[in-house]
Amino acid sequence: MYTREEASQIRREFWTTLGNYLAPYKSAEGAKVNWLNYKTGLKNVYFRMDADKRSASISIEITHPDLGIQELFFEQFLELKNILQGYMDEEWEWILHTSDENGKTISTISKKIFEVNIFRKEDWHKLISFLKPRMLALDEFWSDAKYSFESLK
């Protein structure tokens, strides 16, 4: 078991390592990107990567406080589902109105893997191999799809 400080240090080291793997890549539009804090340009729409001692995930999170507007964003993503799947080359899980770790209602579109542990350095290759290509593909998808959300800004 790790102390809180040791666990924090390992997490920081993993995310720094992943950031270093992603750093050489520019966005689909040719711009420099902070991949770990990706800016969609839409308030309340985020691309998130997460890893813990059991799993890793990458997701699109819609966090608008107005649940009706949140649903409109989700429906717009549903309109683009085939395009997203084309970029990802896999099926993702779509959940309208779920709760995050703070009890806030959000909607998510995500992909998750299990039996990986951020605290086992031997799993880092598997984690990076899962997160990196999906984040790059999300960026490519977003460079085409973001214009579909102009009316929802």
Quick check: helix, strand or coil at residue 4? helix
Give the integer Cα–Cα distance in Å for 88 and 90.
Answer: 5
pLDDT at 153 over 80: no
| pLDDT tens digits along 32-67 | 999 999 999 999 999 999 999 999 999 999 999 999
Does the pTM surpass 0.85? The reply is yes
In one-letter notation, the amino acid at residue 54 is R
Q: What is the mean pLDDT of residues 82-94?
A: 97
Which tens digit of pLDDT belongs to each residue from 105-132? 999 999 999 999 999 999 999 999 999 9
pLDDT bucket at 1, cuts 50 / 70 / 90: confident
Q: Which domains does the chain have, with CATH numbers?
A: 4-17+35-152 (3.30.1460)
Q: pLDDT-based confidence at 151, cuts 50/70/90?
A: confident
Q: Which long-range contacts (CB under 8 A, 24 or more apart) does 129-136 make?
A: 130/56, 130/58, 131/18, 131/49, 131/51, 131/56, 131/58, 132/18, 132/21, 132/22, 134/58, 134/88, 135/22, 135/35, 135/38, 135/47, 135/49, 135/58, 136/22, 136/25
Instruction: Report H helices in 80-123.
Output: 81-88
Question: Among residues of the chain, what percentage have pLDDT more than 90?
Answer: 95
Which contiguous run of DSSP H or E holds residue 72? helix 67-79
Mean pLDDT across the chain, nearest whole number?
Answer: 96
